[in-house]
């Protein structure tokens, strides 16, 4: 895709997080998300077969989806993800060597941070945007407070995002949100209810689109 990845993320505003999904069901899940209108999909690197999923999805979905790698904890994992074809790297932590490597490869990178010091450090290291984690514990109020002095730093809110609060996270200043279990519920995966996953995706995308104009 020729469009700047961060600009497109500011338009789409949802990153689907796939963690621990069975590799034999991976393609059906990805197709369900695509059908539901999800563009950004991240598979965590502690998922069995993650690199194969990334490689396969880059080939299958081409221009329709942006495929990234999550839980990139160190340089070795970053290199594996990049070799598989990941377009962006997402971490729960800040490892400057991962940020440096991503930038050297022309990849977007979203390191994780919690405190103001960590957020600023990640931004100065070269982060495309900073992942604020764990939002399920910190809450929307924390995001609002942290955005006040740091509104020049794009932030991705991850953890605890659901249909009933997604607009609150956007209103608090998140450029986008990361959504895992609510979107791809493990029970739905076990039961093969891919149509429900697609509907979850459609509902979330509709909520975001109706919230207001994109940030681009």
Beta carbons within 10 angstroms of residue 59's beta carbon: 10
Q: Partners of 108 in the beta sheet?
A: 88
For 36, phi then psi, to 5°, come to -80, -5
Positions annotated as catalytic residues are 42, 131
CA nearest neighbour of 183 among 2, 23, 3, 30: 30
Dihedral sign from CA coordinates of 35, 69, 117, 123: negative
C-alpha 164: how far from its chain's center? 19
Q: What is the CA radius of gyration of the chain?
A: 16
For residues 192 and 45, what is the distance between their CA atoms, to the nearest angstrom?
23
């Amino acid at each position: 895709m020729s469009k700047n990845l961060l600009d497109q993320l500011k338009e789409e505003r949802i990153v689907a997080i796939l963690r621990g999904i069975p590799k034999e069901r991976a393609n059906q899940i990805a197709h369900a998300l695509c059908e539901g209108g999800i563009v950004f999909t991240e598979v965590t690197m502690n998922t069995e077969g993650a690199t194969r999923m990334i490689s396969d999805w880059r080939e299958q979905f081409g221009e329709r989806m942006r495929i990234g790698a999550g839980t990139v904890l160190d340089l070795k994992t970053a290199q594996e993800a990049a070799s598989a074809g990941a377009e962006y790297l997402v971490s729960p932590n800040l490892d400057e060597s991962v940020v440096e490597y991503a930038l050297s490869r022309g990849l977007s990178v979203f390191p994780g941070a919690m405190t103001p010091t960590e957020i600023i450090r990640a931004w100065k290291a070269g982060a495309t945007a900073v992942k604020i984690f764990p939002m399920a514990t910190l809450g929307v109020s924390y995001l609002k407070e942290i955005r006040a002095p740091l509104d020049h730093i794009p932030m991705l809110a991850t953890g605890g995002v659901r249909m009933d609060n997604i607009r609150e996270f956007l209103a608090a200043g998140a450029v986008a949100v990361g959504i895992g279990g609510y979107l791809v519920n493990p029970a739905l995966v076990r039961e093969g209810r891919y149509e429900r996953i697609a509907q979850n995706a459609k509902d979330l995308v509709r909520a975001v689109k109706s919230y207001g104009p994109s940030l681009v």
